[in-house]
Amino acid sequence: MDLVFATHNTNKLKEVGLMLPKAIRLISLEDLGCRQEIPETGTSLEANAQLKADYITKHYGISCFADDTGLIIDALNGAPGVYSARYAGEEKDSEKNIEKVLTKLRNGASREARFKTVIALNLKNKRLLFDGIVEGTITNEKRGKNGFGYDPIFIPTGYDQTFAQLPGHIKNEIGHRGKALQKLIKYLAKN
C-alpha cells in the first residue's frame, strides 16, 4: 500500500518510516512534488492534523495521513501545545523554542508535561483520528543529541534519560508518535 505522509519535517518522515511495516510504502510530500507549506490554522492538534490531510486529499486526490504534535506543560497552562513548533516565533527554531520553555520554568514551577500526537488519516473516503500521549517531565537543561524538537528536555515517565539520550527504537516504542502510529497501523492492517 502506498500512503502519503503530509509533512515537510524530514526528522518526522525518517522516524515514521522506521516504524511502518514493509507492506506500507511511505510517500513524502517531496515525492508528490508538493513544496508549499500546508497551513496549520487550527486551534487544536486534531484540527491541524486534519487540515494537512485534507489539503493533500483535495489537491492530489490520494490517500494520506498527517500529524500534529504538541508539548503540553502543566505549569504553562498547556503551552506550548498546538503552537509547539512556533512557540518562539514563526521560523520554527527548535533551539529558541527550548530556551523559551526553560526560561519560563526557571521559577521552580512544576515540570510535569506530556507530548501528544494526533494523526489524521484520509483513506477510502473516510476521515479518522488516532492519538498517542506520553507523560514525563521537563529537565533544567538540554541533554542528548538524538531526536529533534523538544526531545533534549523531555524525560518520559519511568526513565532517567531524555528522548534525545534514549536510543531511537526506545523512543519510537514508548513515545507519543509511536503510540499514535501503532493505532494507525492496526487500523490499516484490518482495512
Predicted pLDDT at 10: 87
Q: Note the pLDDT tens digit of each residue in 5-49.
A: 999 888 889 889 988 999 899 999 999 999 998 988 999 999 999
Q: Note the pLDDT tens digit of each residue in 64-123.
A: 999 999 999 999 999 999 999 999 999 999 999 999 999 999 877 789 999 999 999 999
Instruction: Enumerate domains of the chain plus CATH numbers.
Output: 2-190 (3.90.950.10)
Predicted pLDDT at 82: 97
C-alpha cell at 149: 524538537
Q: Note the pLDDT tens digit of each residue in 114-170.
A: 999 999 999 999 999 999 999 999 999 999 999 899 999 999 999 999 999 999 999
Q: How many helices (H) and strands (E) does the chain have?
A: 6, 6
- CA–CA separation, 24 and 181 (whole Å): 12
Decide if 68 is catalytic: yes
- CA–CA separation, 138 and 148 (whole Å): 15
In the sheet with 126-138, reading across from the earlier edge strand, the strands are: 25-27, 2-5, 64-73, 112-123, 126-138, 154-156
Given 31, 67, 68, 74, which residue is catalytic? 68
pTM of the predicted structure, to 2 decimals? 0.93
Report yes or no: 67 and 50 within 8 Å, Cβ to Cβ. Answer: no
Report yes or no: 95 and 155 within 8 Å, Cβ to Cβ. Answer: no
Predicted pLDDT at 15: 87
